[in-house]
Amino acid sequence: MKIVTDFSVGSRPPQVSAGFAPGSLFRAGEVGVHYAVADQDEVFSDTSGLVPAEIGQSVARVNDRSGNDLHAVQSSIALRPALGRAPANMRNRVPNNRMDGTQLGTVGSGGSLPAGWDFTGGLHPEVVASGVLDDLPYVDVRFAGTPSTNMRVRFASNTTIPAANGQTWTESMGLALVGGSLANTTDVRVEIEWRGVAGASISGQTFGAGDVSASLTGTYQRFSGTFTATVADTSFISPRVRIGWSSGPVDFTLRIFAPQIERSAEASALQITGANGFDVSEGNLPAPAFLRFDLSDDVLPTAFPDGGTFDVMVFGRRGSWIERGVTIAAAGSLNIGPTTITGAEAGVLPALGDIVGWTAVDRTLTDAEVSRLVQYHKARGARGLLVPGPELISNGGAGFADTSGWQPISSSMTIGVSDGRLFVQRSNAASAGAARAVYPFPVTVGAAYLIEMTGSTEMDTLRGALRADGGIDADRAVLNTSSATPVTGRRVGTGRPGDAGFAFGTVGSVSFADGRAYLHALSIRELRPEEDW
Amino acid sequence: MQYSAVLIIPAAMKPAADTLGKAMGWGEVSYTIPLGDGQNVTHFAARADVGTQFLRWIKGLDPLPDPAAQSVIAALHADFSPDPTFDGDEPPPAFWGNQHLEHVLHEMALQIMPR
């Protein structure tokens, strides 16, 4: 007997899809699965389903709510996603402002700033108190001694918070002077630093808000600063508070309340963060749970003893996806992770963000069912179906008349058009190496792109991918073929720092005599949730 | 304390490394990410969240539960984030997940190969 376990009773009721329970999709005895992790009650840290997973823990098992008892289980510890929770509008990117990991004492000698925070300035600050005041977590840090430079408490590492050129961010925090005086200091400021690829320093990219030293009192005041990135290399933002130093010894205790940094032109209501960013809350707002896959090797499989052909939907906090007609062989499995879903294009998972649920049914879902499923999961933190926008490649459709917009990566390579195909080849017989061409266009860091490419090659393996500096990465390739006849590939690519367009060409070293690599057609369209277009 | 760990093993050592992982209760297979020079698979990687005890074993601070595992550990490249051994002024960046893996691969001049 099939027992449908999800009637939305006892869990947070959907805000839009009142009356719809995904379990109803299986009333006629359909084979399939339905997973929803928002209320955490079917998410476990053990494979037997006996120990509920806690926020920040890895997840070994998610129970199926369809009534088919086809649970998603990962027996290998290294391959398990982690459980998190956050309000639908998760804004604060400081991973830990509730002061997890704080230890009283001198930093480096038994004491610790909150996990993920650090200090620069040439003395050893002392954590003298930590607690919660009027629902605001705080830490008291005493700075005593002679600094070697300006003092900074940084709230996240240089590679924790991705950012990009043109973005506006606001950092805010509560500050109070609860001991000593600011003698021998020059200023106290909310400060950020824009950092480059891999967290590299960018000259002249540290910015502070106005000096608040004269305003500090012994009680809470919230200060903020708003900053806009103007340098192309910008890849991360580093939030901190700065205390300028003139000369001589200092001795004061600064109380720092719950810093927040958000992509916004003004400070918004405070969100409390902990568990290294896996636990985010805001007042009494719902904070639905999600699964965070590491996009490296995490995968949750569901074994289907009899196989079948399924419509599969996955619901994420950046967007949702539907893949129709996915065939799973008998004893095969439906996998979510590491970077895609069984039957879907490569690279889908990063575009979806943290996952709040997924469903598979061995029949065609109606448009009404698709809409209701999306609404059901939107009420639990997901966003709408990802749909592609306008074509971004103006010379790459069916047939090339010329090479406009395309360029060889170096003068050692030549591009041209032959029989409606764009080709790339080494320029002369004297030198061997890669043969690649690029179509530059502004790739947005973090944005998802649906890429379709048809190519063929007379020589070495042909690949095409959003361009990363230094080459065409195998794991980002749309095509990876040595076929002399046209082959079509399709994947979802996510923009990364350093991407500047689309590149295609050979992997290894070739010579002029080896021939050409051909691009027959190319399409790139940005994917956004349907509500964002 | 939890650390993000990137563990990389030469391809020839994958069976032994997976066997060791199984013996430690990690499950059947741990090393699933093929790595190479763009054309050939030369290594396999695992990315996981680990606790302090695991870190101490790998760094040789505590004796391994099974001394026979030493040959695997000797061939293992392990990177932990945050770095628990850091003792300088400005700590190195902290990474998690794929960002951590890519950081390590960049330093080792390896790339992920098609699975």
* pTM listed for this prediction: 0.90
Nearest to residue A346, comparing CAs of B29, B115, B44?
Answer: B115
B109 touches chain A (CB under 8 A): no
Question: Who's near B69: CB < 8 A, 6+ residues apart?
Answer: B20, B23
**A78 — phi, psi (to 5°)?**
-70, -15
pLDDT, position A468:
64
What's the CA gap between A478 and A489, in Å, rounded?
5
pLDDT, position B89:
59
pLDDT, position A12:
41
Q: Which of the two residues, A482 and B2, has the higher pLDDT score?
A: A482
User: Strand pairing partners for A58?
Assistant: A82
Nearest to residue A127, comparing CAs of A137, A113, A108?
Answer: A113
On the CB side of A343, how many CA atoms lie within 13 Å of its CA? 20
What's the CA gap between A157 and A116, in Å, rounded?
7
Measured in angstroms, the CA of A144 and the nearest CA of chain B are apart by 17
What's the CA gap between B28 and B51, in Å, rounded?
20
B111: which chain A residues are within 8 Å (Cβ-Cβ)? 473-475
B88 touches chain A (CB under 8 A): no
B41 touches chain A (CB under 8 A): no
ipTM of the complex: 0.91
Q: State whether A296 and B33 contact (CB < 8 Å).
A: yes
A512 CB neighbour count, 10 Å cutoff? 18
- Which residue of A lies nearest to B33 if distances are taken between CA atoms? A297
Q: DSSP alpha helices (H): ranges in A338-432?
A: 348-352, 367-378
Question: Who's near A342: CB < 8 A, 6+ residues apart?
Answer: A312, A326, A328, A333, A334, A335, A336
Compute mean pLDDT per 10 residues along chain A, 533 residues long, and list them: 41 51 93 95 96 96 97 97 95 96 92 92 95 97 97 93 93 98 98 91 95 97 97 92 97 98 97 93 96 97 97 98 98 97 96 97 97 96 97 87 92 93 90 90 91 93 81 86 95 88 90 92 97 95
